[in-house]
Chain A
Amino acid sequence: MSDFTWGNSTSEGAAWPKRIVAWLVRHPPAFTLILIVLVSVIVGAISPEFWQISNIFDMARASVVTGMFGLGFLMILAAGGIDMSFTAIAALVMYWITTAVAAYMPSMPMPLILLMAAAGGTLLGVCNGLLVHYLRAPALIVTIGTQYVIRGFLLTFIGTELFVNVPTSIESFGKYELWQVETDSGSIAVLPAYVLVLVVAAIVTWWILNRTLMGRAIFAIGGNSSIAERLGYDLRKVHVFIFAYAGLLAGVAGMLHVSSNRLANPFDLSGSELGVIAAVVLGGARITGGSGTVIGTILGVILVTLVNNVLILAGIPSSWQTFVVGCFIILAGTVFASRERT
């Protein structure tokens, strides 16, 4: 079989573009990287302010929450599942914890708050995992259900009002500086320290997927769940783990969202799940599971953040945003779908 394809490719050796396309299809992150470079070069040429350090810091800041969501989503996608509820989890956790801390323990230190957010997110994620496992229904449908239950619960029973009296520990966490640069115009551009949370999450996700038995199990189940089950992988354990992990990242992401915005809005984050799914798919993870890399996901997140932020710089009205992201999903899906046929 391999002989045949090898002979085939040499006989078509002259067909250059074909081979490049084939290589790209086999290395999805490279495709994403090329798109990033293309967008950057074009926008940079149209408006030089794109390359200003403050703009780059802004984009780094904007990609943290999407990145956290994306890593959790990647984990679920790798196992062949899909999750529509993570933004609702993040919204519930961030609003409930922020208001509760402000009301009962305004002096609570940030590490403890983050721990609470992680625990809350994990708990909701475990519910998701158990439901997906025991209802034996497509994860898409189950998590659309939990999304509405969680968001409906938040808006009916917790509150609908914008909350601005954010506890000082949460607020100051968002102000820690990692790097400070004085720009030519004299203003100061700041890279906040919480981008490190995304870096840590990326490393942990990479480690779980590539260096642990759980990672093996996730890819095995994503590849073919009934065969994986016969090989002795515990489907329930994996389902609960991936949704719990995604919930954990979502909870932490919710808290980061509050500390960077310095307010808690229960209507925030709703609808952003589509951008996250776009990012992960653009990063080359197959929607039917069994593949996906952390680096690809991060690149996908960067690309989506880029699109969301630079359209205005490029002189395109922001109303085009949704359309462009949608087209990117279709484009990436089409390119990577051709991989499945080979």
Chain B
Amino acid sequence: MDRQLNFLVAVNALVLLAAVAIAGTDFAGIYNLQSMAVQVPELGLLAIGVTLTMISGNGGIDLSGIAVANLAGIVAALTVPLWISADDSPMTYAFVFAAACLAVGLLCGLVNGFLVSRASLTPIIATLGTSLAYTGLSVVLTNGSGVRLGYIEPLDNFGHMPILGIPMCFAVFIVLAVIVGCVLRFSPFGMRLYMLGSNAKAARFAGFNQIRLLMVTYTLSSLFASVAGFIIAARISSVKWDYGTSYVLIAILITVMAGVRPSGGYGKITCVVLSAVALQMLSSMFNFLNISNFFRDFAWGLLLLIFLWVSGIDLRTLFALRPRAGS
């Protein structure tokens, strides 16, 4: 299945070339590359969460990603200043902030995982319900307005500062992606997850604990979302409940573009990262061209449909001998 990988590399190269042709060589300059790299992690992390849940099959999907990210940022921004002063010890502040985000993500993920695995809710309904509940909680906590963090040096550095030319948050994203990729590929957890997604019945007879597997998968997904929440807070130094309303769509678009099978059982993290990068370049190209947000939504929707169509063709040729196997 390396076709998907080649295809995505080609897409990346094409978008880069098109962008340079349209927007000029500034596009490939170090400054613009860095500013794009800063924006990839949040979407990429949400997409990795969606990918993990999609691989688990049986309609698995996580629609609550951005809600968890915003809630994590908001809870941290409201509670951490109560314990630690940002002026006195900015470094501790940043670490406790991150820990608070992760704690919220863990809690939200456990709730999602419980609903999907134990209460056997359909993933769509469970994560739709929790995404409303988490968003609602964010609204209640902030009364609907944004919370400003002010300038906190370590946080701001994390969001923007490049080390050896690579922005810190992008480096963290790549490290996390590599870890998830390795876990999926080499660990028993990954093998079981793919197995559950490709054939739930066979997985049941294999005798491993499916409830725990789903629990871990949804918890991981929310944990990644909360890391995204931390990065958002660090990058724009404020948090609001309605940040990134179209991120649910974009995260799904990234996973579909990456060739993750919506019915479960197949998906590669390398492809997800490449797909996120391609989308970010496209988005930056739109920025250079001064294209409105409304048209951008239009383009994202259209792209999603086109990639569903393209991946459908691939599947049919791959499974030409057994046309029913893919469905």
Question: Could you tell me which A residues sit within 8 Å of B by CB distance?
Answer: 82, 131, 134-138, 140-142, 144-153, 155-156, 160, 226, 274, 277-278, 281, 287-288, 317, 319-330, 333-334, 337-338, 340-341
Contact = CB atoms under 8 A, between A and B. Distances in A.
Given A135-B312, A148-B246, A155-B294, A319 B304 contact: no
A74 to B, nearest CB: 15
Given A138-B262, A324-B136, A326-B131, 9 more contacts: A136-B315, A140-B61, A144-B304, A147-B301, A149-B301, A226-B327, A328-B129, A330-B121, A340-B120
A12 B60 CA distance: 36
Contact of A323 (B139, B297, B299, B312): B139
B122 interface: yes
A191 B40 CA distance: 52
A322 B136 contact: yes
Contacts of B296: 152
B298 interface: yes
B198 interface: no
Nearest to B126: A333
17 contacts: A135-B305, A136-B327, A137-B262, A145-B302, A145-B305, A148-B300, A148-B304, A274-B128, A319-B136, A320-B139, A322-B133, A327-B129, A328-B129, A329-B129, A330-B133, A337-B122, A341-B120
B256 interface: yes
Contact of B115 (A141, A151, A334): A334
A293 to B, nearest CB: 18
Contact of B122 (A149, A150, A160, A333): A333
Contact of B137 (A145, A155, A288, A323): A323
Nearest to B248: A144
Contacts, number: 154
Interface string B303-320: 011001101100100000
B169 interface: no
B126 A322 contact: no
Given A288-B122, A330-B115, A325 B312 contact: no
B115 A329 contact: no
B125 A329 contact: yes
A341 B59 CA distance: 17
Contacts of B298: 148-149, 151-153, 156
Contacts of B129: 278, 326-330, 333
A82 B61 CA distance: 14
B128 A141 contact: no
Contacts of A327: 129, 133
A145 B296 CA distance: 12
